[in-house]
Structure 1
Amino acid sequence: MTYVLPLWTPPALDIQGSDALFPIRRVHCVAKNYGDHIREMGGDPQKVKPKFFSKSAHAVVGGRDEVSIDYPLATQDLHYEVELVVALGEGAEIFGYGIGIDFTKRDIQAEAKKNAMPWDTSKNFTGAAAVSQLTPFDKIGEMTEGAISLSVNGEVRQAGNLNQMIYNVREIMDHLNGYDVLLPGDIIFTGTPAGVGAVEKGDVMSCQIEGLSDFTVKLV
């Protein structure tokens, strides 16, 4: 078979202790999954059911412990959200975990919400999903608890624990499978704790999740 355009290399992430790469098929994201974050966004955790959105695989930048990302176009209010990322391998079983930052053009999102319009352009753009290298499942097992944090220029902005998730990793996977069958190569952003906020060009974000390698992202 021939194509009218050259085929592109799929986005991929490094794997700790391996020369192989993890190819990314799709990016699933949980909209709200920590009670304190839901409250800071004006919601009620008792009334929240799992809601999902997606990003293009080509929104992903990273695969290493340190990455630089260009400040995106068409926003004056870019927000960070640190998250546990789950990578699915053969049989759509958990292959490994990474640290991710879900970036949001908050001004674009707010305008879209005000007008009852889709807000995918606020979430889906080049660099909208920063992801670290992956730690294989067989090295760490199930991740149901552990500290998660993000600092901006050395100042802690987000701090929580994975056990504060309303829906844990397995429950998220079950819900997603109810909408569309999960596939090998899919990655899942699992939600963020409270403390989201704006960053500017030149800011450095340092992210930690207990049991995983630290991840640093610089906006340039």
Structure 2
Amino acid sequence: MANDIRNIYCIGRNYRLHALELGNEVPEEPLVFTKPSHAVVPMNGNVVEIPGGRGEVHFELELVLLIARPLEPGMSPDDIIDGFALGLDLTLRDVQSKLKAKGQPWLDAKGFKASAPLGEWMAYPGEEGLKEHDFALLRNGEQAQLGNSRDMLFSISELVRHIDSRYGLGAGDIIFTGTPAGVAALHEGDVLEALWNGEKAASCKVKLV
């Protein structure tokens, strides 16, 4: 999977309640960071190994978009999206807090190996079609997060246009679109299930190493 992925763009604080739960200001424009392609691992019932000695590792369930082609004049953002998936933006939260306090980049907290577990790609129903269904994360059978793309601060169209104008988009790029409220620290043996419209779309078991 990772071999087919070029750039991984991620959006921070794109759901108001998530920004507030971490004590962050709500951004006035999309907050973009990146992960290396080595961060991507499958989320298909497998075991995902994450760092166990660097403080808390938080889960953040997100809608992930697959870009098929560059955005050309006259095209709609929907025209360049080839599929979507559910994925996790895993975050070394204690590391991130220290980096933010120093005004340093987030790469060490966001870009570690296996920090982007990703489910299988599904047919993209369009920006409006996504709003018709919720996505959710179950941890050990209990709901931890529930979201809907209609609650994004910056819409899919806005994200695509912003990223394209600032950094460029092309085939093989993916966009993690932000996480709803409810993030928390992972523990050894946690079983995570990502649901789309109530149906399991991705899952994994956590192993601390």
**Matched letter for residue 7 of structure 2:** R
Specify the code of the residue in structure 2 equivalent to 1:11: A
Residue equivalent to 1:25: 6
- The match for 1:61 is 41
| Contact 1:78–1:198, Cα closer than 8 Å, also in 2 | yes
Q: 2:193 aligns with which of 198, 206, 212?
A: 206
Q: Indicate conservation of the 8 Å contact 2:120/2:201, yes or no.
A: no
Q: CA shift at 1:185, angstroms? A: 0.3
> Does the CA-based 8 Å contact 1:65-1:213 persist in structure 2?
no
How far has the Cα of 1:170 moved from its partner? 1.5
Q: Is the 2:69–2:169 contact (alpha carbons within 8 Å) kept by the matching residues of 1?
A: no
CA distance in 2, matches of 1:187, 1:58: 13
Q: Residues 175-213 of structure 1, C-alpha deviation per residue, up to 9 Å, x if partnerless?
A: 101211101100000000000010112111111122875
Aligned match of 2:180? 193
How much has 1:41 moved relative to structure 2?
1.6
| 2:2 corresponding residue in structure 1 | 11
Work out whether residues 144 and 168 of structure 1, in 8 Å CA contact, stay in contact via their aligned partners in 2: no
Structure of greater Rg: 1
User: Aligned runs of 1:1-220 on 2, under 5 Å?
Assistant: 11-12=2-3, 23-45=4-26, 47-62=27-42, 65-72=44-51, 74-91=53-70, 93-137=80-124, 140-142=125-127, 143-145=129-131, 146-210=133-197, 214-220=201-207
User: In structure 1, what residue type is equivalent to 2:204?
Assistant: V
Aligned partners of 2:5 and 2:174 also within 8 Å: yes
TM-score, normalisation: structure 1: 0.83
1:49 positional shift = 1.9
Corresponding position of 1:4: none
Give 3-state SS (helix, strand or coil) of 2:146's partner: strand
The alignment of Structure 1 onto Structure 2 pairs a total of residues equal to 197
**Conserved 8 A contact 1:80-1:197:** yes
Where 2:50 maps in the other structure, the secondary structure is coil
Q: 1:101 & 1:216 partners in 2: Cα distance? A: 10
Amino acid at match of 1:27: I
TM-score scaled by length of structure 2: 0.87
| 1:165 CA displacement | 0.7
Unaligned 5+ runs, structure 2: 72-79
User: Residue type matched to 2:60 in 1?
Assistant: E
SS of the residue corresponding to residue 176 of structure 1 reads: helix
Q: Any stretches of 5+ residues in structure 1 without a counterpart?
A: 1-9, 13-22
The C-alpha deviation readout for 1:61-95, integer Å capped at 9, x for no partner, is: 01x53232112254220000000000011345101
In 2, Cα distance between equivalents of 1:42 and 1:76: 19
Matches of 1:214 and 1:135, distance apart in 2: 9
Residue aligning to 1:7: none
Q: 1:48: Cα distance to partner? A: 3.2
SS of the residue 2:175 aligns to: strand
